Structure 1
Amino acid sequence: MTSPPSSAAVSRRPPPIPGARWSPADAHVRPLLLWVRTGTAHVRLDDGPALRLGAGEGVWIPADGRAGRTITTEPGTVAFPLCPHVGVGARGLPEVTRFDVPRGWQDWLIQLFNLQVTPFSGRGYSPDAITALLRRPGSRPPAPPALGDPGPEGFASPPMPRARGARAVAEELTRDPGLDLTVERWAARVLSSARTLRRDFLADTGLTFEQWRLHCRLGAAVEFLAAGYDVDQVAALVGFAGRNGLTRAFKGRFGLTPHEFGRKLHARPGAGGLTRRAAAARQADDLIRMMRETDTPVAPEMLPPASTPSHTNDIHVLSWMYRGSGYLDIGDRRYERERGVATWIPAETEHVTGLRENSVSLPLGNASTADLHLTAPLQVRFSPAWDDYLMFRSISARSALRPDDHDPRQILGLFAEQVAAQRALSVPMPTDPRARAVAMECLRRIGEPGAARDAEADATPDAEIHRAFRDETGMTLGRWRYAARMRVARDLLAGGAPPSTVARRTGYAHLPTFSAAFSRFHGLSPREYQEREAAESG
């Protein structure tokens, strides 16, 4: 078992949170729930007034192809955009609705965002898992009822395509079968072409895209009918314009109308259980009641554990523990993920990730194998002072609400800086309290303008502190500063940062000055050191 980094790591102050904007072209396709955790957000609809939302406030915006949405957030704001199923508005909230978020629901909504943007749909770590958040500890949804005649095989989900783009579309439709995009728009979302998408669906599943989507919708309709929804509600949930279209398609496939099926099913003993997808729809109803401030559900007393199946990613994934604890299992080795710990999960490595009870994680971003050389997990701890900023980074990475100059590679630099600051503590540290305080202040100031001239610019510590450095570290204070700075530089270079950036982050105003200092200490130039590290890791 591998433990997370020590909490003694030096944690720099987080950068300021910039303003952000949401204005995607297809924003109207799905309803949107925007919740402001801290700061101020402004929402404007083409056909309605502007809304100003403060901390603890939210707004529900139904799907509407006639109205555009523009959302802006002021600097310092953390606002979570949540996208429930498209049919939610048809079940009682078709208008723009402003509401307050009770404090007891806030971490629940953060976890809801995590589950909606995590790609492991339908397998443990999926949007369907949010249903348990509204249930009391120890309770579980009852098992789904036996469907009877016609046999269960008639209601099986269609096979999933293997091709990456087609599978991404299939997973999204499985999560939300009511999404009504053309194949051309689906192709654009997964950076493919309509021709390729159609070809992959047919080759991998034996069904055309339209046939696959219809099978997916009808399978979902069976689940919602079994859960007690009426035919009109089911039609809206699974993407039909009305009950007549659903009835024709349902009878053509199953030989029964939806009404006949529902009546037959609920007449059977043991009927009334929920599948995970149907339970997720029930959860959405509870969310609607909370927003309407009628019959508000009791805040969840616990967040249930969750885990992924064993899987691999083709990119490195950075995951941060906001609350509680979790784990990462690779082979027979377990990496603990405690509060505040961010973990790079390496690409092409089969693994299982998990969250323990009352725990919340958030994805901070991805990195390609070209941008980051990584063969084993890399962890670093962020202090609670970073919470808001890291939430903002997660929202920017996994939604359309982001700064105009959003750079997904920025998280690489921030992580590298935190690792470097943490590892700087591996240089010998004095134990004398006053000398140690000087050492910690030096580490905190690495990267500030003029940091390389600390020895000359700072007031000279007294003789006892100098003596403590010599006796307890084997180095003078000036040499110790130099060694700490070079250790930070080495880790930044190993993480892929260019030498010019490393020079600036370690307090050198000019690259040649930094290169000379680095070469004296390590016997290699920054570029040579970086090339050697890349060759050894490759």
Structure 2
Amino acid sequence: MLVNTPPPIPGSRLHEPDHLDEPLVLWTHTGVTHVRFGDGEPRRITAGSALWLPAGTEHDVWSEPGSLTMPLWGFDAPPGGTADRVSAFDMPAQSSAELIDHYTSQGFGDYTWIHSSTPPTEGTCPLPTGAGCPPMPRSGPARRVAQELRDYPALDRTLTEWATWAACSPNTLRRGFSSQTGLTFADWRLLSRLAYAADLLAAGAKAGEAAAAVGFASRWGFAQAFRTRYHLTPRDYAAQAAEASRTLAEAPAEKADTGPLKENVMVWVRAGELRARFAGRTWAGRTDDVVWLPAGSVVEHAADSSLPLSVLCTECVQLAQPRRARFARGWHHWLLWASVSTNTLLRPEEHHGRHPRLARPLHAHVINAFEAQTNADRARAVPLPSDPAARATARTFLRSLSADDRSGVREAPAQVREAFRRETGLSYADWRLAARMRVARTLLQDGVPSGSVAPRVGYTMVSNFSRAFTRFHGIGPREFQLFEGPEDHPLLD
């Protein structure tokens, strides 16, 4: 389907017990992390919590499946802690966006070209009052449903519908949430939506945008629920997050290294734009794109939010030119975890102690995800046949759709139908459906309501259009508008 679900995040483990040269904050954004000091009992860090480790601390770290744990440098001891002792503290949800930005700004080895400024050398952890994500169920149908809702919080299915989706009974799903999280399904979904909305507000989204993105039908209902959870209005929460971000202000900007890349570098453009030159051409990626740049590329501009996912030598990977794939917003947690897994010693358990940092097997999960997304991007295009008669038939049909004219060709001679099947791999009927869906995607991404899109692509009833769109893409028109960004753009010449 078009908006495909990311693979599950596996458990991770420190490549080898580490001895810190500088203080470290281990922040658990989602899931559960365990830390052991020496031969002692492991300490548990749940979502929304962090552990401050002073320099010289010997430790081992591992996380449970589904967990996103991020190592952060450049912080002073948290309030109430001391510089020579391990300290645990809560990290409120409104700080999440700033902490992710801080992780991005840290730089990775010799590849600090991605950032326009150097990371901070010291600072203070922002600790305004707040609450993080609810705990994830550990296993079974409840975990599968929770992961889907974490990725796509606006999905509006009843518990019974979710039970059908997860192939279990409603009672099984209800018990799974209650026993594994201590919350009812409804309460868990509400808290998860509000935590996601808090991240959006902290990143600069307006209250109405955050409400719609997490499935609230009205801004008023969203504001009431948000204030009950965080004891702040959405506007005040966003203002407090902005104030917290100022405590993580970066050092004065320094000119980035603009020399050619020595390795193949895969970059996730979290926001903004990336521009690079290779073989005399300009190549670009924008928000939610992952761009794979071959060695020899010269980066002309990169937003501070750009994040490396893979850095591999030319012997490990051969790239003839830059490549690009666009990932839906539901992939954000997975992509952050992927960056941690390839740029730090906190690696997937199957790689524990096996491969050096730049070995291709350590990056296979990132490369496989990129290739799968590239294939999905290709499937979005509707190929035109080259046979003159079939091509004329195709163009007549497409003109009839764009002109809101229903006189387009619906039946075609046998030789034209055979040309469609031979040259596009689709029957003429299937090709017409794919063309309608392509036009529908473009209209939806331009913000046209689905009720207005339906007649413009040949459907007299909105319900029939919604069913056809859902069967074709695996997601409904309204969900598509929420989770898909702007229409695909070509790499710039």
TM-score (norm 2): 0.47
Higher CA-based Rg: 1
TM-score (norm 1): 0.44
